[in-house]
Chain A
């Protein structure tokens, strides 16, 4: 399954309780109140588990986390980074 489909499914299931109709790729989670502080931690846990990523504290910013589009970009960047750079 495509990475962004997985993320979308997770967000729809856990934060929108199945109602994903109005969720666009650039919908802001913060502005729309889709995800709050506890939610962000759930999301990070999901990303780390599902994609084997390690999300650093300073990466926990809206630019990386605030929409499906931003998360997709973030995942790509992380997965494409060389192991050396990631360490």
Chain B
């Protein structure tokens, strides 16, 4: 796992600065602390910061093809590279390293952008074709690895993280008002927008090509949506057998590495299942890592302990205290590079530090299972609300809502109130965003804290309409559950789960996560399983639970799902952190950022300190406002243009002409 960065003048030679690329790479050293490499010619500069995992001795990047016309820098892993390499060898390709990087380059040489369809992995790639003068950027299907870019004066500037792009002094650093509207509705921006104006992400499943002075972006994969007729007719038992085989193979190829691979183990179904597959089939001595919390509301120790003794693994846990979570929010945001409405990324940020200090660079995680196999409450909520919409006055139907959120409904006084809360929008069951309507409406309430200035800049922008317009062909034909699943994967998964709770917080401490549940074969097979088997009645992840029955204790397969969350108010306003939080939310700080209404935020802060149990929305508002302020502070106001020590590359391929070298 690594970091990549570069620039490309799309109109032709214009000079490339070695120091500029060094600075960009310097900002990514946490992603690749082991070595760096650079390629330069008169039109392009490519930089690479390496975390050595496969081919430790000879895999130094950039890597070239036989005639040195193609150059690649690459962040990620292609797990099926040994199989792809065999084919290429048969076709006469010869390799000078044993890395997966070189395999990807030769496959591109052979097939062009079509090669992406054969890659089973997680990656962000940059390939420069020095003969055709074409830059090719690509990102894995679901967006496990990040890749950002901007285009300025006919120059494409790209990098694994935005801070690397910002080391170019000519790039302006501004918060994008529309992005703020999106984040405070959907919990994240809608791709390709980022929170920074004019900085874009290359969307998951897309590639970008520069050729003849033009930039084109194409989709090569989308989240599968099958109509019932295209789905399988296998029995649940047969389905489970396939799921078992696929997951076992997805885990097997994700253990390919020249370093040890560990596992995250929370005690939940997904990470327990992945860890059990490793222990039973591949490595009974695998090291596991998990998070614990102060408060019982968040802590999963009971199940984590159960799994540790069941698998008999060498487990290391991190107790994420409220003080630590609050104190680390700012550092965590430096890596996430976007405002957050949750503190849940922070414990994962702290955990990767423990993993790294234990000598591990790679871990398997259970991320993605809830999206692929139907684990989220929002899927069940939509199902119940749809059921309720048929007979809105039915008391027995309304009672089902209580089963969805037992941890909210534990107060019987609230029954009727909550039922009417979830009954909102029942007349809109035909709206494609029906499933997410309540969540997005609730989140939107936080926009009440936006400043007048920000509101004016947002104007009449309508995020819901943008989502509706972006839906793919086939969305209408898919069933209700598959639609909700699509929205969840397209919006929440890549930009929040895989980013702020995935790559960014792991790579902050040079740890690579690998996600067997997001193996493209698993995603595709699961999409072909009829929805009724994924959520049987209201029993979420039914097929996955059944598939794990033989390898997990019954307590784990039958336990109610407890969503991974972390405390907010208790973390941000405790004895150790309250002063910092109050300073960041002071009238002076707020007016400096210009994003929020200081009067309202002061009232929120007062309420947060006075009330014992702060509501869900108020908690989200608190962390949303604070994290936006901290993002503004770190990236707009105080951005350090020279972030790290100067880089001393292990490899520099410098093909610049004397004339242009002098001007750059």
Contacts and interface: CB of A to CB of B under 8 A. Distances in A.
Q: Sort chain B's interface into a size bin.
A: 20 to 34
Contact of B417 (A13, A16, A65): A65
B388 to A, nearest CB: 15
Given A16-B448, A17-B449, A36-B442, A30 B420 contact: yes
A18 B600 contact: yes
A24 to B, nearest CB: 17
A14 B618 CA distance: 10
A19 B448 contact: yes
Interface string B576-611: 000000000000000000000101110110010001
B424 interface: yes
B599 A18 contact: yes
Q: Sort chain A's interface into a size bin.
A: 20 to 34
A36 B405 CA distance: 14
B445 A38 contact: no
Interface in A1-45: 13-14, 16-19, 30-31, 33-34, 36-42, 44
Given A37-B418, A37-B421, A66-B420, A57 B413 contact: yes
A37 B613 CA distance: 11
A12 to B, nearest CB: 10
Contacts of A34: 445
A61 interface: yes
Given A38-B615, A41-B613, 18 more contacts: A14-B607, A17-B597, A19-B600, A31-B424, A33-B444, A34-B445, A36-B442, A36-B615, A36-B617, A37-B408, A37-B418, A37-B615, A38-B614, A41-B413, A57-B412, A60-B416, A61-B417, A66-B420
A60 B417 contact: yes
Interface of B: 408, 411-414, 416-418, 420-421, 424, 441-442, 444-445, 448-449, 597, 599-601, 603-604, 607, 611, 613-618
Contacts of B414: 37, 40-41, 60
B439 to A, nearest CB: 11
A40 B445 CA distance: 16
B436 to A, nearest CB: 14
Interface of A: 13-14, 16-19, 30-31, 33-34, 36-42, 44, 57, 60-62, 65-66
B616 A17 contact: no
Nearest to A63: B416
25 contacts: A16-B448, A17-B601, A17-B603, A18-B599, A18-B600, A18-B603, A19-B600, A30-B417, A30-B421, A33-B424, A33-B442, A33-B444, A33-B445, A36-B616, A37-B417, A37-B421, A37-B615, A38-B616, A39-B615, A40-B417, A41-B414, A60-B413, A60-B414, A60-B417, A66-B420
